[in-house]
Amino acid sequence: MNILELHHVQSITNKPGGYELDIHVTNTKGEVVEQKVMHATHLFLGAGSIGSPELLLKSICESKLKINNRNIGIQWGNNGNVMAGRNFVSGNTGISQSTIPIIAVDHWDDKKHPFFAEISLFPINMEVWTALYLVINKVPKLGSMSYGKDGLKLDWGKSNTKKMRKTTSYFINSLNKANIGTPAHMLFDKGVAEDICYHPLGGLTLGHSTNAYGALKGAKNLYVVDSSLIPGTIGVNPFLTITAIAEYCMENIIKNDFSNQPAKNEE
């Protein structure tokens, strides 16, 4: 297996026996230095919940890829991500802080305000009496993607995040009442920012865009093995779940789609 760095697939085209990939090779400044065409009999997409759906939608829009699948680009979400902050917290937040969250608040059992909040860090080696949180909410209204002459369009706005913002405000206000503090107005609007996304998910979801193990419906030998398989939200940092689903898909692809293929002769 070869790993080709700085290779950017521009489009996928149906060809007899497989797929043709139009590729731009760039330097580290993002400048295109070479164009390539590669071919694949079996194609696996792992560009994430933005990259994989966009590549398929773009290729379909340009009439290069022929797929009978109306579920490409659906059930996208930001994993309920909302950033929040508190200033002037009681006591202090400490000078020595980790660079990754190691403590969280599990509040899923609350039926009215369910959430999971990671305690984010502010590792700047000075006391600022400021606490940050990455709140993961349920996503009651999922978004979707489409592609046209203006490029990729993500149908996602305040109506998708309204409930998340309300739940996050409840969390911040509850902490301030119990531990003294104010919403971090200088950092975020009323201490809450729903216009962020750490964990994008969805766009090519299992059982809708694909079958039960990531084979894209309406296409032959084209598979998805990334975060776009998960519909919108999962409740925690999704990296381990993404890895587990990718491994599950690969095991089933090998079992169901490759097990009957004749083995190559080895000399």
Rounded Cα distance, 8 and 27, in Å: 11
Residue 22 has which token pair? 């139009």
The radius of gyration of the chain from alpha carbons, rounded to an integer in Å, stands at: 22
Q: Which of 24, 62, 199, 251 is catalytic?
A: 199
Instruction: Answer yes or no: are the C-beta atoms of 54 and 62 closer than 8 Å.
Output: no
Q: Which of 62, 113, 118, 194 is catalytic?
A: 118
42 catalytic residue (yes or no):
no
Phi, psi at 47, each rounded to 5°: -95, 10
User: Would you tell me how many other CB atoms lie within 10 Å of the CB of residue 211?
Assistant: 15
118 catalytic residue (yes or no):
yes
Residue 246 has which token pair? 């990718």
Contacts of 261 (CB under 8 A, 6+ apart): none
Catalytic residues: 118, 199
